[in-house]
C-alpha cells in the first residue's frame, strides 16, 4: 500500500471541479450565442419585411403620381413646379428600373455597341471602343482597396537649398 499525503487527490478533485465548471460555462455561453443568433435572424427578417413593405408603398405612391399625367386635368390644374416634381419622380423610378444593369456587364457593352452602330459609326471604331471599355472597366469596389502606400522622402527639399545659400555667402 502507498501512503500519500492527500495533496494529489485534492489537486485531482479541484481539476475535476474546474473542468466541470468550464463545461457548464461553455454550455451557457453556447446557449447565449444561439439565442442572440435567433434574435438577430428574427430582427433581420422583420427589417427586410419592413423595407420591402416601405418600398412597395413608395412605388405605389410613385405609380399613382405618375399615372395622373395621362389625364388632361393634370396638365390644366397643376403649376410647372408640380409637373416638374412628377417628372422627377418618373425619372427616379425609371434610374431604379435601369439600375439592374451592372456598369461593367456584357449586356451594357452590347447595348452601347448597338447604339454606336446605330449612329453609323464604322465597325472597327466600335470594336476599338469596346476593347477600351473592357480594359478600363473595373468594379467600383476596387477604388477603395488600399494600394501601395507612398513613401515619405528621407530629406527635406528645403534643407539642401538653405545649406547652399549659407555656404555661398
**Verdict on whether the full-model pTM lies above 0.75:** no
- Domain residues of the chain, as ranges? 103-137
Residue among 35, 84, 89, 34 at smallest CA distance from 67: 89
pLDDT at 97: 64
Cα separation of 111 and 63, whole Å? 27
Q: Out of 4-8, 17-21, 70-74, 143-147, pick the least confident.
A: 143-147
Q: What is the SS3 assignment for 127-147?
A: HHHHHHHHHHCCCHHHHHCCC
pLDDT tens digits, 21-60? 999 999 999 999 999 999 999 999 999 999 999 999 999 9
Residues 65/86, Cβ–Cβ less than 8 Å: yes
| Model confidence at 157: pLDDT above 70 | no
Q: Which residue has the higher pLDDT, 12 or 168?
A: 12
pLDDT tens digits, 129-145? 888 887 776 655 666 66
Cα separation of 88 and 94, whole Å? 10
Amino acid at each position: 500500500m502507498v501512503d500519500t499525503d492527500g495533496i494529489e487527490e485534492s489537486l485531482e478533485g479541484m481539476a475535476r471541479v474546474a473542468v466541470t465548471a468550464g463545461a457548464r460555462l461553455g454550455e451557457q455561453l453556447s446557449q447565449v450565442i444561439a439565442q442572440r443568433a435567433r434574435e438577430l435572424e428574427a430582427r433581420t427578417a422583420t427589417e427586410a419585411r419592413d423595407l420591402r413593405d416601405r418600398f412597395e408603398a413608395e412605388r405605389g405612391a410613385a405609380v399613382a403620381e405618375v399615372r395622373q399625367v395621362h389625364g388632361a386635368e393634370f396638365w390644366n390644374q397643376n403649376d410647372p413646379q408640380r409637373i416638374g416634381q412628377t417628372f422627377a419622380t418618373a425619372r427616379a423610378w425609371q434610374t431604379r428600373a435601369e439600375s439592374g444593369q451592372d456598369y461593367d456587364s456584357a449586356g451594357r457593352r452590347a447595348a452601347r455597341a448597338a447604339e454606336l452602330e446605330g449612329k453609323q459609326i464604322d465597325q472597327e471604331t466600335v470594336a476599338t471602343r469596346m476593347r477600351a471599355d473592357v480594359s478600363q472597366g473595373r468594379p467600383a469596389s476596387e477604388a477603395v482597396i488600399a494600394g501601395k502606400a507612398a513613401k515619405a522622402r528621407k530629406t527635406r527639399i528645403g534643407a539642401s537649398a538653405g545649406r547652399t545659400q549659407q555656404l555661398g555667402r
